[in-house]
Protein backbone atom coordinates (compact mmCIF):
# COMPACT_ATOMS: atom_id res chain seq x y z
CA UNK A 1 0.00 0.00 0.00
CA UNK A 2 1.34 3.44 -0.98
CA UNK A 3 2.14 5.60 2.00
CA UNK A 4 1.71 9.34 1.77
CA UNK A 5 3.02 12.23 3.83
CA UNK A 6 0.82 14.87 5.32
CA UNK A 7 -0.55 16.74 8.29
CA UNK A 8 -2.20 14.48 10.84
CA UNK A 9 -3.09 17.21 13.35
CA UNK A 10 -2.98 20.98 13.41
CA UNK A 11 -3.59 23.29 16.35
CA UNK A 12 -3.18 27.04 16.82
CA UNK A 13 -2.69 28.94 20.07
CA UNK A 14 -4.19 32.46 19.72
CA UNK A 15 -2.90 33.79 23.08
CA UNK A 16 -5.27 34.68 25.94
CA UNK A 17 -5.80 38.41 25.40
CA UNK A 18 -7.26 40.37 22.50
CA UNK A 19 -7.43 43.99 21.39
CA UNK A 20 -10.31 45.35 19.34
CA UNK A 21 -9.20 47.30 16.28
CA UNK A 22 -12.01 49.84 16.62
CA UNK A 23 -10.61 50.85 20.00
CA UNK A 24 -7.08 51.10 18.61
CA UNK A 25 -8.30 53.13 15.63
CA UNK A 26 -10.06 55.55 17.96
CA UNK A 27 -6.93 55.95 20.06
CA UNK A 28 -4.74 56.53 16.98
CA UNK A 29 -7.26 58.67 15.06
CA UNK A 30 -7.22 56.15 12.22
CA UNK A 31 -10.11 55.28 9.89
CA UNK A 32 -11.50 51.92 11.07
CA UNK A 33 -12.80 51.18 7.56
CA UNK A 34 -9.20 51.02 6.35
CA UNK A 35 -8.35 48.40 8.96
CA UNK A 36 -11.51 46.31 8.54
CA UNK A 37 -11.94 46.54 4.77
CA UNK A 38 -8.41 46.96 3.39
CA UNK A 39 -6.19 45.29 5.97
CA UNK A 40 -9.01 42.89 6.91
CA UNK A 41 -8.23 42.81 10.62
CA UNK A 42 -10.90 43.06 13.33
CA UNK A 43 -8.96 42.07 16.47
CA UNK A 44 -5.40 41.14 17.31
CA UNK A 45 -3.87 38.73 19.77
CA UNK A 46 -1.84 40.07 22.69
CA UNK A 47 0.37 38.13 25.10
CA UNK A 48 0.52 38.79 28.85
CA UNK A 49 4.03 39.34 30.27
CA UNK A 50 4.42 35.69 31.35
CA UNK A 51 4.17 34.28 27.82
CA UNK A 52 6.83 34.18 25.10
CA UNK A 53 7.75 32.17 22.00
CA UNK A 54 8.53 29.13 24.16
CA UNK A 55 5.26 29.08 26.08
CA UNK A 56 3.17 29.71 22.96
CA UNK A 57 4.88 26.84 21.13
CA UNK A 58 4.24 24.42 23.99
CA UNK A 59 0.70 25.66 24.59
CA UNK A 60 -0.13 25.20 20.90
CA UNK A 61 1.02 21.58 20.78
CA UNK A 62 0.42 20.12 24.24
CA UNK A 63 -3.38 19.63 24.11
CA UNK A 64 -3.33 17.82 20.76
CA UNK A 65 -0.59 15.26 21.51
CA UNK A 66 -1.38 11.80 22.86
CA UNK A 67 1.07 9.55 24.69
CA UNK A 68 1.37 7.59 21.44
CA UNK A 69 2.31 10.79 19.58
CA UNK A 70 4.98 11.68 22.15
CA UNK A 71 6.53 8.24 21.82
CA UNK A 72 6.50 8.39 17.99
CA UNK A 73 7.86 11.92 17.46
CA UNK A 74 11.52 11.69 16.38
CA UNK A 75 11.91 15.14 14.86
CA UNK A 76 10.99 18.53 16.35
CA UNK A 77 11.53 21.74 14.37
CA UNK A 78 10.58 25.17 15.70
CA UNK A 79 10.55 28.20 13.44
CA UNK A 80 10.64 31.67 14.95
CA UNK A 81 11.92 35.20 14.52
CA UNK A 82 11.13 35.92 18.18
CA UNK A 83 13.59 33.53 19.75
CA UNK A 84 14.45 34.05 23.41
CA UNK A 85 18.10 33.02 23.15
CA UNK A 86 20.86 33.41 20.59
CA UNK A 87 22.23 29.88 21.11
CA UNK A 88 19.74 27.65 22.92
CA UNK A 89 16.88 26.67 20.60
CA UNK A 90 13.21 26.97 21.50
CA UNK A 91 12.92 23.33 20.42
CA UNK A 92 14.89 22.20 23.49
CA UNK A 93 12.25 23.60 25.84
CA UNK A 94 9.49 22.28 23.58
CA UNK A 95 11.00 18.80 23.69
CA UNK A 96 11.21 18.90 27.48
CA UNK A 97 7.84 20.35 28.36
CA UNK A 98 5.91 18.26 25.84
CA UNK A 99 7.43 15.10 27.33
CA UNK A 100 8.72 13.78 23.99
CA UNK A 101 10.91 10.69 24.10
CA UNK A 102 14.69 11.39 24.21
CA UNK A 103 15.76 9.90 20.86
CA UNK A 104 14.51 12.94 19.00
CA UNK A 105 16.40 15.33 16.74
CA UNK A 106 15.35 18.91 17.50
CA UNK A 107 16.43 22.33 16.31
CA UNK A 108 15.26 25.86 15.63
CA UNK A 109 15.22 27.56 12.24
CA UNK A 110 14.84 31.16 11.12
CA UNK A 111 13.75 32.70 7.88
CA UNK A 112 11.20 35.36 8.79
CA UNK A 113 7.66 34.25 7.92
CA UNK A 114 8.90 31.38 5.74
CA UNK A 115 10.31 29.41 8.69
CA UNK A 116 7.13 27.45 9.48
CA UNK A 117 6.81 26.27 5.89
CA UNK A 118 10.54 25.53 5.71
CA UNK A 119 10.15 23.30 8.76
CA UNK A 120 7.17 21.47 7.28
CA UNK A 121 9.01 20.86 4.00
CA UNK A 122 12.11 19.59 5.82
CA UNK A 123 9.98 17.24 7.92
CA UNK A 124 8.07 16.07 4.85
CA UNK A 125 11.29 15.26 3.02
CA UNK A 126 12.56 13.29 6.02
CA UNK A 127 9.34 11.29 6.29
CA UNK A 128 9.28 10.60 2.53
CA UNK A 129 12.98 9.79 2.20
CA UNK A 130 12.93 6.35 3.76
CA UNK A 131 15.34 7.54 6.46
CA UNK A 132 12.57 8.00 9.02
CA UNK A 133 11.76 4.79 10.94
CA UNK A 134 8.37 3.34 10.16
CA UNK A 135 5.76 4.90 12.39
CA UNK A 136 7.91 7.95 13.19
CA UNK A 137 6.28 11.37 13.33
CA UNK A 138 7.54 14.93 13.09
CA UNK A 139 6.35 17.96 15.04
CA UNK A 140 6.80 21.38 13.46
CA UNK A 141 5.86 24.53 15.35
CA UNK A 142 6.02 28.19 14.43
CA UNK A 143 5.86 30.63 17.33
CA UNK A 144 6.09 34.40 16.99
CA UNK A 145 4.89 37.72 18.24
CA UNK A 146 5.24 41.32 17.13
CA UNK A 147 7.68 43.62 18.86
CA UNK A 148 6.58 46.93 20.34
CA UNK A 149 5.02 49.13 17.64
CA UNK A 150 3.04 51.77 19.55
CA UNK A 151 1.96 54.51 17.16
CA UNK A 152 3.75 52.98 14.17
CA UNK A 153 1.91 52.83 10.80
CA UNK A 154 2.10 49.01 10.86
CA UNK A 155 0.70 48.71 14.40
CA UNK A 156 -2.66 47.54 13.02
CA UNK A 157 -1.21 44.37 11.48
CA UNK A 158 0.69 43.17 14.54
CA UNK A 159 -0.24 40.06 16.50
CA UNK A 160 0.98 36.89 18.17
CA UNK A 161 0.38 33.15 18.15
CA UNK A 162 1.77 29.71 17.46
CA UNK A 163 0.82 26.88 15.10
CA UNK A 164 1.70 23.26 15.84
CA UNK A 165 1.74 20.76 12.96
CA UNK A 166 2.04 17.01 13.47
CA UNK A 167 3.21 15.21 10.32
CA UNK A 168 3.34 11.52 9.55
CA UNK A 169 3.44 8.98 6.76
CA UNK A 170 0.22 7.04 6.33
CA UNK A 171 -2.05 5.52 3.68
CA UNK A 172 -4.27 8.62 3.89
CA UNK A 173 -3.30 11.75 5.90
CA UNK A 174 -6.13 12.95 8.12
CA UNK A 175 -5.96 16.72 7.63
CA UNK A 176 -3.87 17.50 4.57
CA UNK A 177 -1.84 15.43 2.11
CA UNK A 178 1.23 17.23 0.79
CA UNK A 179 1.80 16.58 -2.91
CA UNK A 180 5.39 15.42 -2.98
CA UNK A 181 7.51 17.13 -5.61
CA UNK A 182 4.85 19.70 -6.50
CA UNK A 183 6.58 22.82 -5.30
CA UNK A 184 8.25 25.97 -6.62
CA UNK A 185 10.80 27.95 -4.61
CA UNK A 186 12.01 31.50 -5.22
CA UNK A 187 14.81 33.23 -3.30
CA UNK A 188 16.17 36.76 -3.60
CA UNK A 189 18.22 38.75 -1.09
CA UNK A 190 16.34 41.88 -0.06
CA UNK A 191 16.20 43.90 3.14
CA UNK A 192 12.47 44.55 3.39
CA UNK A 193 11.47 43.76 6.99
CA UNK A 194 14.07 42.73 9.56
CA UNK A 195 14.94 42.57 13.27
CA UNK A 196 18.50 43.81 13.83
CA UNK A 197 18.16 43.37 17.62
CA UNK A 198 15.73 41.44 19.86
CA UNK A 199 13.91 44.72 20.57
CA UNK A 200 13.77 46.28 17.11
CA UNK A 201 11.54 45.38 14.16
CA UNK A 202 11.95 47.70 11.21
CA UNK A 203 11.98 47.88 7.41
CA UNK A 204 10.16 49.34 4.45
CA UNK A 205 6.55 48.28 3.91
CA UNK A 206 6.54 49.26 0.23
CA UNK A 207 9.70 47.26 -0.45
CA UNK A 208 8.14 44.32 1.39
CA UNK A 209 4.94 44.51 -0.65
CA UNK A 210 6.77 44.45 -3.98
CA UNK A 211 9.19 41.78 -2.78
CA UNK A 212 6.23 39.60 -1.78
CA UNK A 213 4.59 39.97 -5.20
CA UNK A 214 7.88 39.36 -7.02
CA UNK A 215 8.44 36.21 -4.98
CA UNK A 216 4.88 35.04 -5.64
CA UNK A 217 5.40 35.42 -9.39
CA UNK A 218 8.76 33.64 -9.24
CA UNK A 219 7.61 30.79 -7.00
CA UNK A 220 4.47 30.07 -9.01
CA UNK A 221 6.39 30.21 -12.32
CA UNK A 222 8.79 27.66 -10.88
CA UNK A 223 5.86 25.51 -9.72
CA UNK A 224 4.61 25.45 -13.32
CA UNK A 225 8.10 24.55 -14.55
CA UNK A 226 8.16 21.58 -12.17
CA UNK A 227 4.58 20.37 -12.49
CA UNK A 228 3.79 21.41 -16.05
CA UNK A 229 1.27 23.82 -17.47
CA UNK A 230 -1.98 23.82 -15.50
CA UNK A 231 -5.27 25.68 -15.66
CA UNK A 232 -4.91 27.85 -12.54
CA UNK A 233 -8.64 28.21 -12.03
CA UNK A 234 -9.50 24.53 -12.51
CA UNK A 235 -6.38 22.94 -11.00
CA UNK A 236 -6.66 24.62 -7.59
CA UNK A 237 -10.04 24.40 -5.93
CA UNK A 238 -8.81 26.63 -3.08
CA UNK A 239 -5.93 29.03 -2.51
CA UNK A 240 -4.11 30.02 0.66
CA UNK A 241 -1.58 32.84 0.88
CA UNK A 242 0.82 34.13 3.48
CA UNK A 243 -1.07 36.96 5.13
CA UNK A 244 0.89 39.60 7.05
CA UNK A 245 -2.61 41.09 6.94
CA UNK A 246 -5.72 39.60 5.36
CA UNK A 247 -5.94 42.14 2.56
CA UNK A 248 -2.65 40.89 1.12
CA UNK A 249 -4.41 37.71 0.02
CA UNK A 250 -6.55 39.70 -2.41
CA UNK A 251 -3.54 41.42 -3.98
CA UNK A 252 -1.74 38.10 -4.31
CA UNK A 253 -4.72 36.25 -5.82
CA UNK A 254 -5.39 39.12 -8.21
CA UNK A 255 -1.78 39.00 -9.45
CA UNK A 256 -1.99 35.29 -10.33
CA UNK A 257 -5.44 35.56 -11.89
CA UNK A 258 -4.38 38.42 -14.15
CA UNK A 259 -1.23 36.58 -15.23
CA UNK A 260 -2.60 33.06 -15.72
CA UNK A 261 -6.34 33.37 -16.41
CA UNK A 262 -8.84 35.46 -18.37
CA UNK A 263 -10.35 36.65 -15.07
CA UNK A 264 -9.15 40.26 -15.00
CA UNK A 265 -11.99 42.66 -14.11
CA UNK A 266 -12.03 43.83 -10.51
CA UNK A 267 -15.54 42.47 -9.96
CA UNK A 268 -14.67 39.03 -11.33
CA UNK A 269 -11.39 38.93 -9.40
CA UNK A 270 -13.21 39.90 -6.19
CA UNK A 271 -15.82 37.17 -6.73
CA UNK A 272 -13.16 34.56 -7.46
CA UNK A 273 -11.18 35.58 -4.38
CA UNK A 274 -14.33 35.47 -2.24
CA UNK A 275 -15.05 31.91 -3.36
CA UNK A 276 -11.57 30.41 -3.22
CA UNK A 277 -9.62 32.49 -0.67
CA UNK A 278 -11.81 34.49 1.71
CA UNK A 279 -12.82 31.55 3.97
CA UNK A 280 -9.14 31.18 4.87
CA UNK A 281 -9.18 34.60 6.55
CA UNK A 282 -11.71 33.65 9.22
CA UNK A 283 -9.13 33.44 12.00
CA UNK A 284 -6.63 35.91 10.58
CA UNK A 285 -9.22 38.65 11.12
CA UNK A 286 -9.43 37.66 14.79
CA UNK A 287 -5.74 37.18 15.58
CA UNK A 288 -3.75 39.54 13.36
CA UNK A 289 -0.21 38.93 12.15
CA UNK A 290 1.16 35.50 13.09
CA UNK A 291 4.29 35.51 10.91
CA UNK A 292 5.29 31.96 9.90
CA UNK A 293 2.06 30.54 11.32
CA UNK A 294 -0.15 32.49 8.94
CA UNK A 295 -0.59 29.87 6.19
CA UNK A 296 -1.42 27.19 8.76
CA UNK A 297 -3.87 29.50 10.48
CA UNK A 298 -5.39 30.13 7.06
CA UNK A 299 -5.65 26.40 6.33
CA UNK A 300 -7.47 25.86 9.60
CA UNK A 301 -9.87 28.69 8.82
CA UNK A 302 -10.47 27.38 5.30
CA UNK A 303 -11.25 23.85 6.41
CA UNK A 304 -13.47 24.96 9.26
CA UNK A 305 -15.54 27.62 7.49
CA UNK A 306 -15.76 26.60 3.81
CA UNK A 307 -19.05 24.70 3.89
CA UNK A 308 -18.70 23.20 0.40
CA UNK A 309 -15.17 21.90 0.96
CA UNK A 310 -14.75 18.22 0.13
CA UNK A 311 -12.04 15.65 0.67
CA UNK A 312 -9.47 15.50 -2.12
CA UNK A 313 -9.75 19.12 -3.20
CA UNK A 314 -6.42 20.63 -4.17
CA UNK A 315 -5.19 23.74 -2.35
CA UNK A 316 -2.51 26.01 -3.74
CA UNK A 317 -0.43 27.37 -0.84
CA UNK A 318 1.99 30.29 -0.96
CA UNK A 319 4.44 31.08 1.84
CA UNK A 320 6.74 34.11 1.93
CA UNK A 321 9.50 35.17 4.30
CA UNK A 322 11.21 38.53 4.21
CA UNK A 323 14.82 38.44 3.28
CA UNK A 324 13.64 36.63 1.11
CA UNK A 325 12.50 33.10 0.35
CA UNK A 326 9.13 31.96 -0.89
CA UNK A 327 7.44 28.72 -1.89
CA UNK A 328 4.31 27.80 -3.80
CA UNK A 329 3.20 24.23 -3.23
CA UNK A 330 0.05 22.16 -3.40
CA UNK A 331 -1.79 19.79 -1.10
CA UNK A 332 -5.06 17.89 -0.94
CA UNK A 333 -7.72 18.11 1.76
CA UNK A 334 -7.77 15.00 3.94
CA UNK A 335 -10.79 12.84 4.62
CA UNK A 336 -10.87 13.81 8.31
CA UNK A 337 -9.95 17.46 7.86
CA UNK A 338 -13.19 18.82 9.28
CA UNK A 339 -12.89 16.62 12.36
CA UNK A 340 -9.27 17.71 12.92
CA UNK A 341 -10.26 21.36 12.63
CA UNK A 342 -13.15 20.87 15.03
CA UNK A 343 -10.86 19.14 17.54
CA UNK A 344 -8.47 22.12 17.37
CA UNK A 345 -11.24 24.24 18.92
CA UNK A 346 -9.75 27.51 17.73
CA UNK A 347 -12.97 29.54 17.74
CA UNK A 348 -13.57 28.54 21.35
CA UNK A 349 -10.04 29.66 22.24
CA UNK A 350 -10.51 32.97 20.43
CA UNK A 351 -13.84 33.61 22.15
CA UNK A 352 -12.32 32.83 25.56
CA UNK A 353 -9.64 35.52 25.28
CA UNK A 354 -9.98 38.48 27.62
CA UNK A 355 -10.62 41.77 25.79
CA UNK A 356 -8.23 44.48 26.95
CA UNK A 357 -8.24 48.26 26.66
CA UNK A 358 -5.74 50.26 24.63
CA UNK A 359 -4.17 51.49 27.87
CA UNK A 360 -3.74 47.91 29.12
CA UNK A 361 -2.29 46.86 25.76
CA UNK A 362 0.21 49.71 25.78
CA UNK A 363 1.31 48.87 29.32
CA UNK A 364 1.84 45.21 28.38
CA UNK A 365 3.85 46.10 25.29
CA UNK A 366 6.11 48.44 27.27
CA UNK A 367 6.68 45.86 30.00
CA UNK A 368 7.52 43.15 27.46
CA UNK A 369 9.90 45.46 25.60
CA UNK A 370 11.75 46.36 28.79
CA UNK A 371 12.02 42.68 29.78
CA UNK A 372 13.35 41.51 26.41
CA UNK A 373 16.96 40.29 26.75
CA UNK A 374 17.06 41.47 30.37
CA UNK A 375 19.31 39.61 32.83
CA UNK A 376 16.67 39.30 35.56
CA UNK A 377 12.90 39.39 35.08
CA UNK A 378 9.91 38.41 37.19
CA UNK A 379 6.75 38.88 35.05
CA UNK A 380 3.99 40.66 36.92
CA UNK A 381 0.96 38.50 37.63
CA UNK A 382 -1.12 41.08 39.36
CA UNK A 383 -2.40 42.64 36.16
CA UNK A 384 -5.84 44.20 36.00
CA UNK A 385 -8.78 41.92 36.76
CA UNK A 386 -6.51 39.13 37.96
CA UNK A 387 -5.72 37.84 34.48
CA UNK A 388 -3.48 35.06 35.69
CA UNK A 389 -6.08 33.63 38.05
CA UNK A 390 -8.82 33.97 35.45
CA UNK A 391 -7.00 32.66 32.38
CA UNK A 392 -4.19 30.43 33.65
CA UNK A 393 -4.51 29.10 37.19
CA UNK A 394 -5.28 25.38 37.07
CA UNK A 395 -5.51 25.30 33.25
CA UNK A 396 -2.11 23.65 32.71
CA UNK A 397 -0.61 26.25 30.42
CA UNK A 398 3.12 26.77 30.34
CA UNK A 399 4.19 30.17 31.67
CA UNK A 400 7.45 32.01 32.21
CA UNK A 401 8.05 32.08 35.95
CA UNK A 402 11.20 34.21 35.95
CA UNK A 403 14.52 34.97 34.28
CA UNK A 404 17.39 34.70 36.76
CA UNK A 405 20.85 35.61 35.51
CA UNK A 406 19.57 34.98 31.96
CA UNK A 407 18.41 31.47 32.95
CA UNK A 408 14.78 31.06 31.96
CA UNK A 409 12.49 29.19 34.36
CA UNK A 410 9.13 27.89 33.17
CA UNK A 411 6.29 26.20 35.03
CA UNK A 412 2.79 24.83 34.43
CA UNK A 413 -0.05 27.04 35.58
Catalytic residue from among 36, 95, 111, 242: 242
Residue 301, CA distances (Å) to 79, 282, 309, 338, 363 in order: 21, 5, 12, 10, 31
Catalytic residue from among 25, 113, 325, 383: 113
Active site residue 81: yes
| Pairing mode of beta strands 314-321, 407-412 | unpaired
Closest CA to 244 of 162, 319, 323: 319
| Pairing mode of beta strands 105-109, 73-79 | parallel
| Pairing mode of beta strands 73-79, 137-145 | parallel
Residue 400, CA distances (Å) to 14, 55, 161, 213, 215 in order: 17, 7, 16, 38, 37
63 burial (CB, 10 Å; 0-12 / 13-18 / 19+) is: middle
Distance CA(250)–CA(256), nearest Å, equals 10
Closest CA to 302 of 177, 175, 213, 179: 175
Catalytic residue from among 8, 51, 81, 304: 81
Distance CA(211)–CA(114), nearest Å, equals 13
Long-range contacts of 234-238 (CB under 8 A, 24+ apart): 235/314, 235/316, 236/276, 236/314, 236/315, 236/316, 236/330, 237/276, 237/313, 237/314, 237/315, 238/276, 238/277, 238/279, 238/280, 238/302, 238/306, 238/309, 238/313, 238/314, 238/315, 238/316, 238/333
User: Residues with catalytic annotation?
Assistant: 81, 113, 242
Amino acid sequence: MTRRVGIEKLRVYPTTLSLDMDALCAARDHDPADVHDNLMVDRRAVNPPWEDAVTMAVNAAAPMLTDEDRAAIQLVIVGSETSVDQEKPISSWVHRYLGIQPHCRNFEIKHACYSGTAGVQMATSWLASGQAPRGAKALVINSDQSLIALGEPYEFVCGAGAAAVLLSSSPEPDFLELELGKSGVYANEVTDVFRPTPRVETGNSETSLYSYLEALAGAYARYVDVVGEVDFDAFFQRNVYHVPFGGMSFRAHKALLQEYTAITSRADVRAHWARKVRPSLHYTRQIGGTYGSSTFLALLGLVETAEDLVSGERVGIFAYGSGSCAEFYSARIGAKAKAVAEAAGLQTLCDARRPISVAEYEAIERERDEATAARDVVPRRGCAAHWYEELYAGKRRLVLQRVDGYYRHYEWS
